[in-house]
């Protein structure tokens, strides 16, 4: 199994065919970042090579099987191209997207960073999320090497920190990371709500926006996901992803539903 | 002049007509939040009453004059409806949008807030941005009462704080705030870059996502806009808006271009 192969798209006239491959799911539903990566590959194929700002609205859960991506170039610019797209299953639309694409190899400009990557023990001293055969952790962990900060990992033993936050290392098990893998990375940590002391088991994503700032070097990603506002039946989950060279490579924010307890 | 009237849309078959009214501009170009509010009114007219998560990609600067909004319902759900839209000028598309709409009067659920609204002196002790007839502050300040934290306001005298952040109070001069006015509110503070010690005069918006968490009570909005990552030729500007009752009513993030010095 391979992320690059399992997110591949094949042009067929004005649309693209792809396959939601089993194993990229949580409890039977394909991961939202995985779906976003499939759609983004088709959007990049009609515009520019990398997603820079990509928003997805999630319409229905996706099961394994054939999907169709219909990208439409809204504006072809010199540096950025704006593209909308739908990703549709056999019976219904699954996600709707809007994004700006560019060549991330070309970016430059002044740099100023007023934040630090999360402090983490070495990967070997973190908590490895492994596919154990049960329902948890989810099947997609067979593709990913995700190492949670030990302080944040105790939720799995029924001892949440009380802070809706997860920090950890992430890499693919068998292949390097590309810009599209960052779209997956922003959506594969456990929901921050698992570390809040609230009687909520799941927070389905309404909307996810990812900003890709640069192409990651090979190695571990250093990640942090946190929530500050649980209100109005909604919560935001803010992500920051740094590569092994210490550069911020992606930021994300998703808005998720907080079901009534 | 009135925000409600100046963002009104009139249905005309499958699209909506509207007018970009002079006076909602910065240096001749209509404010991005003002444009978003016009489009959102048309999107709400075909779906549900309030924007909850709305993303706009900015394609071209907008001058005063007639515009057309073409909304399309992607999915009509029970609680949320997903809608895409374009806002077009006479000659070209100006912004492309994707959003989820709902009735914000209906929301409820558990509440947990891990952040404080910004501490601000009383509005009368803050720095009032006024339309002085020159190029700065911009014309749209004739509609808005914006009071910057005095510490953050000294950029106007050539003494930026060095921190890319603005805090302040905001209200409309002559009318109450609705959910659509929050879309304006997330884009009317001075660019955070004005308080960074960098030789950058302007940061055009590539993409803006606003999350509306609740309907504001009448009175002042307490606002904070900040930037942590200037890198890859881009910066993010994160906004938080609290109403006078102390509730978070909106969050925003925009991705803006950082022109080379």
Tens-place pLDDT, residues A75-121: 999 999 999 999 999 989 999 999 999 999 876 677 888 888 999 99
What pLDDT score does B134 carry?
47
Choose among A142, A137, A170: nearest CA to A156.
A137
Tokens 């929530």 belong to which residue? A227
Q: Which of A84, A206, A211 lies nearest to residue B80, judging by beta carbons?
A: A206
In sequence order, which ranges of B1-148 are alpha helices (DSSP H)? 3-6, 32-45
Q: Which of B108, B110, B164 lies nearest to residue A230, judging by beta carbons?
A: B110
Q: Are strands A65-76 and A127-129 parallel, antiparallel or unpaired?
A: unpaired
A-B contacts at Cβ under 8 angstroms:
182
Q: Kindly identify which residue of chain A lies nearest to residue B193, measuring between CA atoms.
A: A112
What pLDDT score does A134 carry?
47
What pLDDT score does A139 carry?
76
Q: Which domains does chain A have, with CATH numbers?
A: 3-104+120-257 (2.40.160.210)
CA dihedral B117, B122, B124, B130 (to 10 degrees): -10
Q: What are the structure tokens assigned to B163, written together?
A: 């921190």
Mutate to test the interface with B, among A207, A238, A251 (most CBs of B within 10 A): A207
pLDDT of A132 strictly over 60:
no
Q: Which of B55, B251, B255 lies nearest to residue A98, judging by beta carbons?
A: B55
CB contacts of A213 in chain B (<8 Å) are 229, 231-232, 234
Mapped onto helix, strand or coil, the DSSP state of residue A149 is coil
**Mean pLDDT to the nearest integer, A156-182:** 94
Q: Which of A59, A110, A229 lies nearest to residue B198, judging by beta carbons?
A: A110
In this prediction, the answer to ipTM > 0.90 reads yes
DSSP state letter for B190: P
CB A101 within 8 A of CB A52: yes
Q: How far is A222 from chain B (nearest CA, A)?
A: 16
From first to last of its 261 residues, chain B has per-residue pLDDT tens of: 699 999 999 999 999 999 999 999 888 899 999 999 999 999 999 999 999 999 999 999 999 999 999 999 999 999 999 999 999 999 899 999 999 999 998 766 778 888 889 999 999 999 998 765 444 567 788 889 999 999 999 998 889 999 999 999 999 988 999 999 999 999 999 999 999 988 888 899 999 999 999 999 999 999 999 999 999 889 999 999 999 999 999 999 999 999 875
**Mean pLDDT to the nearest integer, A143-165:** 93
CB B64 within 8 A of CB B30: yes
How many angstroms separate the CA atoms of A49 and A101, rounded?
Answer: 7
Mutate to test the interface with B, among A36, A57, A197 (most CBs of B within 10 A): A57
Q: Are strands A205-212 and A248-257 parallel, antiparallel or unpaired?
A: antiparallel
Greater confidence (A26 vs B118) lies with: B118
Q: How far is A132 from chain B (nearest CA, A)?
A: 32
Tokens 């194929």 belong to which residue? A45
Rg (CA), chain B: 18
CB contacts of B241 in chain A (<8 Å) are none
How many angstroms separate the CA atoms of B48 and A14, rounded?
Answer: 31
CB B195 within 8 A of CB B152: yes
**Residue partners of A191: CB distance under 8 A and separation at least 6:** A202, A203, A237, A256
How many angstroms separate the CA atoms of A129 and A132, rounded?
Answer: 9
Burial tier of A236 (Cβ tally within 10 Å: 0-12, 13-18, 19+)? buried
CB A121 within 8 A of CB A149: yes
How many angstroms separate the CA atoms of A39 and A95, rounded?
Answer: 9
What pLDDT score does B86 carry?
98
Partners of A234 in beta bridges:
A231, A257
What pLDDT score does B131 carry?
60
Q: Which of A59, A109, A260 lies nearest to residue B260, judging by beta carbons?
A: A109
Mapped onto helix, strand or coil, the DSSP state of residue B108 is coil
**Mean pLDDT to the nearest integer, A227-253:** 95
CB contacts of B82 in chain A (<8 Å) are 57, 59, 96
% of chain A at pLDDT higher than 70: 95
How much is the mean pLDDT over chain A? 93
Q: Does A55 contact B98 at a Cβ distance shorter than 8 Å?
A: yes
How many angstroms separate the CA atoms of A56 and A52, rounded?
Answer: 13
Greater confidence (A137 vs B230) lies with: B230
Q: Does B114 contact A86 at a Cβ distance shorter than 8 Å?
A: no
pLDDT of A137 strictly over 80:
no
**Residue partners of A196: CB distance under 8 A and separation at least 6:** A160, A162, A163, A164, A227, A230, B112
What pLDDT score does B190 carry?
94
Q: Are strands B10-12 and B50-58 parallel, antiparallel or unpaired?
A: unpaired
The CB density around residue A140, as the number of other CB atoms within 10 Å, is: 21
DSSP assignment of B123-170 equals GGGSEEE---SSSSS-GGGGTEEEEE-HHHHGGGGT---SS-EEEEEE
């Amino acid at each position: 199994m391979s992320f690059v192969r399992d997110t591949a798209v094949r042009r067929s006239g004005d649309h693209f065919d792809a396959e939601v491959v089993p194993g990229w799911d949580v409890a039977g539903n394909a991961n939202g970042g995985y779906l976003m990566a499939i759609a983004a590959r088709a959007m990049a194929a009609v515009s520019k090579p990398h997603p820079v700002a990509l928003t997805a609205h999630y319409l229905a859960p996706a099961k394994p099987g054939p999907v169709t991506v219909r990208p439409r170039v809204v504006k072809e610019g010199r540096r950025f191209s704006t593209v909308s797209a739908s990703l549709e299953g056999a019976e219904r639309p699954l996600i709707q997207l809007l994004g700006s694409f560019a060549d991330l190899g070309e970016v430059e400009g002044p740099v100023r960073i007023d934040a630090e990557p999360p402090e983490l023990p070495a990967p070997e001293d973190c908590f490895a999320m492994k596919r154990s055969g049960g329902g948890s952790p989810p099947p997609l962990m067979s593709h990913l090497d995700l190492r949670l900060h030990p302080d944040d990992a105790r939720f799995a033993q029924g001892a949440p920190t009380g802070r809706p936050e997860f920090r950890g290392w992430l890499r693919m098990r068998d292949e390097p990371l590309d810009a599209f893998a960052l779209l997956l990375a922003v959506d594969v940590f456990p929901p921050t709500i698992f570390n809040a002391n609230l009687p909520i088991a799941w927070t389905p994503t309404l909307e996810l926006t990812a900003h890709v700032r640069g192409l990651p070097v090979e190695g571990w990603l250093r990640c942090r996901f946190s929530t500050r506002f649980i209100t109005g039946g909604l919560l935001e989950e803010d992500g920051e992803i740094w590569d092994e060279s210490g550069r911020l490579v992606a930021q994300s924010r998703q808005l998720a539903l907080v079901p009534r307890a």
